Chains A and B, each alone.
Chain A
Amino acid sequence: MSVQTHSVSRGSQSAKVAAFLGVIVLIVLIAAPWWAGRADMRLMGEMFLYLSLACLWNLMAGYAGLVSVGQQAYVGFGGYMLFALTMFAGLPPLVAIVGAGVLGALISIPVAALIFRLRGAYFAIGTWVMAEVFRLSFAQVSSLGGGSGSSLPVGIVRSLAGSRSARESLAYWMALGAAVVVIAAVYLFLRSRRGLALTAIRDNELAAASLGIDVWRIKFVVYVVTGGLTAMLGALIFLQKLRISPDAAFSVNDWTAFVIFIVVIGGIGTLEGPIIGTLVFFALRETLADLGTIYLIVLGFVAIVVMLKAPRGVWGFVRERYDIQLFPLAYHVQKKPKTDK
């Protein structure tokens, strides 16, 4: 199979088409406040936020090999920082979101230093412990409502935009913007030198290290950047919810389990995976939500089946079949089409 003539390239026809379609979809989505209903917009906003979380988790787990089950630590942290910064420091919400991101990145530094001592699966549970520590700590802060939580004061909400519909549009655009920024950031990161190193680590950590790649540092950077961005997303999420409590903010189901399922179903280690996963997840949720707990059981079941039968997820399956990719990341060796099958 290696005796054919080849050419190596990164772009592909499908990627160009995808880029073009992507721009059109984006324009349509930006215009959503003018064509979509209130409920639809809420749903789409939520989808974008989940999509962003999924992309970030995918960057960590799928590319850097850092399987975290404690990302709710940063979601909750970001949410609480939004509340703290707006209520006590008097910052406008938009500034507070950025502030939450910066603080999230800062706090992830000592966290990383500690839990990076754990390998592989122990690391995963270590992140969970950290999330629990965060949750219990914030439950102790009585000025933020302690264990029962608190609501964002009306004045702060008003400062965002005057009318309710304007606020909702704004929230929607912010969610969309977050998704675009996160996908673009992950994409550019992966195309950079660092990203190449990251891919090398994913493929073979030992070999990458022997090539002079500082594995620890790259993982550290990924973890910190992810922590910061996740905290920003957390701030955004709770700006929409307007109410925060430790159990909601640090919920392992909402912010980690669902995100993991999205990535796994869509296809881990690919940029397209989270997008497909988000669509599948929300489709499942909207059709099965009435069933209550059954829906989560089905979800767990689907994830297990996908993991066992198609470990590369829906997108991995598609890519294997048709050899297309929407984000030109992989180098392509083009060869003559095979005649068999």
Chain B
Amino acid sequence: MFAAGLSLIFGVMRLVNIAHGDFIVLSAYLGLTVVASTGMHPLLALIIVVPTMAAIGYFLQRGILNQTLGDDILPPLLVTFGLSVILQNLFLAGYSADPQKMDAGALETASVSVAGLSLGILPLLTFGIAIVVIASLQYMFFCTSLGRAFRAVSDNQDIAQLMGLNKRHMFGLAMGIALGVTAIAGILLGIRTSFDPTAGSARLIFGFEAVIIGGLGNLWGTLAGGIILGVAQTIGAKIDPGWQLLSGHIAFLIVLAIRPQGLFPRVSG
């Protein structure tokens, strides 16, 4: 799901956000702070964290990232890289290097039994939320006038301007939505596993791999890519614990070698 946000940014703005992983961690920390200060359930914290992140996304885009857009890919890349370093060290300064985790109470261990398999509620919930989020993004993208505007800007920025679309505003909105989605991912991450200030780059890499495996600009493909990575990691972990992460990367490289356009390239229309 982190990948879905990433995919959206890639798709609309052709911008690569290296700090994306760190924004996931940022939302996890925000969630942690909200939970710690109000004592509410982590999932409820979404109500606060998602809009906050969306607002951060919008103003970040309007304030900084819009200035970097252009034909040259270097400026956005380097600026987000700088952001990434700043965020990581802000986490370090603010929350220390110790891994932290959000407590979701009984939800974490609860499980249901389906056909003899015991499935945790939390993974199921995560999966369910991922599908709902992607479905609504898909709907937003293809069935609403906002989505139409996003696609128009993504196709041809100049001409979209002629239609009265302010691309700066559109990019801001896209980034806002992307970070809102990121916030959901971040909270779920914070409930599921512990995280520390440097957890972001691993997230970024996996999100990116899922996007490439799934095919650029295809949100369902991104979900499938995420599943493939997850499966590869689980298999790798069975062979040898040290192989868990590596096998995910290897799966990615194999896909890249055989089908560089991704397993499910974008279908037009």
A267-282 CB contact bits vs B (8 Å, 1 = yes)?
0100000000000000
B243-267 CB contact bits vs A (8 Å, 1 = yes)?
1011001101100110010000000
B3-20 CB contact bits vs A (8 Å, 1 = yes)?
000000000000110100
Interface size on A, residues (CB 8 A): 42
**Residue B160 lies at the interface, judged by CB distance under 8 Å to chain A:** no
B256 contacts A114, C-beta separation under 8 Å: yes
**Residue B92 lies at the interface, judged by CB distance under 8 Å to chain A:** yes
Kindly identify which residue among B75, B90, B205 contacts A311, using a CB–CB cutoff of 8 Å: B75
A132 contacts B242, C-beta separation under 8 Å: no
* Total residue contacts A-B, CB cutoff 8 A: 115
B89 contacts A293, C-beta separation under 8 Å: yes
Q: For A118, what are the chain B residues with a Cβ–Cβ distance below 8 Å?
A: 212, 256, 260
Kindly identify which residue among B81, B90, B93, B253 contacts A114, using a CB–CB cutoff of 8 Å: B253
A140 contacts B246, C-beta separation under 8 Å: yes
B75 contacts A125, C-beta separation under 8 Å: no
Interface size on B, residues (CB 8 A): 41
Q: For B201, what are the chain A residues with a Cβ–Cβ distance below 8 Å?
A: 128, 252
Q: For A303, what are the chain B residues with a Cβ–Cβ distance below 8 Å?
A: 78-79, 81-82
B180-216 CB contact bits vs A (8 Å, 1 = yes)?
0000000000000000000001001100110010000
**Residue A29 lies at the interface, judged by CB distance under 8 Å to chain B:** no
Kindly identify which residue among A132, A292, A307 contacts B75, using a CB–CB cutoff of 8 Å: A307
Distance (Å) between the CB of A146 and the closest chain B CB?
8
Distance (Å) between the CB of A87 and the closest chain B CB?
21
Kindly state the separation between the CA atoms of A304 and B65 in the bound complex, as whole angstroms.
10
* Majority DSSP secondary structure for residues of B touching A: helix
B82 contacts A304, C-beta separation under 8 Å: yes
Task: Using CB atoms and an 8 Å cutoff, list the residues of chain B in contact with chain A.
Answer: 15-16, 18, 64, 67-68, 73-79, 81-86, 88-90, 92-93, 201, 204-205, 208-209, 212, 242-243, 245-246, 249-250, 252-253, 256-257, 260
Q: For B204, what are the chain A residues with a Cβ–Cβ distance below 8 Å?
A: 125
B242 contacts A121, C-beta separation under 8 Å: no
**Residue A218 lies at the interface, judged by CB distance under 8 Å to chain B:** no
A69-B18, A125-B18 known; A260+B78 contact, CB < 8 A: yes
A307 contacts B79, C-beta separation under 8 Å: yes
A133-B250, A136-B249, A307-B68 known; A124+B77 contact, CB < 8 A: yes
* Majority DSSP secondary structure for residues of A touching B: helix
Kindly state the separation between the CA atoms of A121 and B92 in the bound complex, as whole angstroms.
27
Kindly identify which residue among B74, B85, B88, B90 contacts A61, using a CB–CB cutoff of 8 Å: B74
**Residue A301 lies at the interface, judged by CB distance under 8 Å to chain B:** yes
Can you list 21 A-B contacts (CB < 8 A)? Answer: A67-B74, A114-B253, A121-B76, A122-B212, A124-B16, A125-B18, A125-B204, A129-B205, A129-B252, A133-B249, A136-B245, A140-B243, A260-B78, A261-B82, A293-B89, A293-B93, A297-B93, A300-B83, A300-B89, A301-B86, A304-B83
Distance (Å) between the CB of A62 and the closest chain B CB?
9
**Residue A208 lies at the interface, judged by CB distance under 8 Å to chain B:** no
Besides the known contacts A114-B253, A122-B208, A133-B250, 17 further A-B residue pairs in the complex with CB atoms under 8 A apart: A61-B74, A67-B77, A118-B256, A118-B260, A120-B16, A121-B15, A121-B73, A128-B205, A129-B209, A133-B253, A137-B246, A139-B242, A140-B242, A140-B246, A261-B82, A294-B89, A300-B86
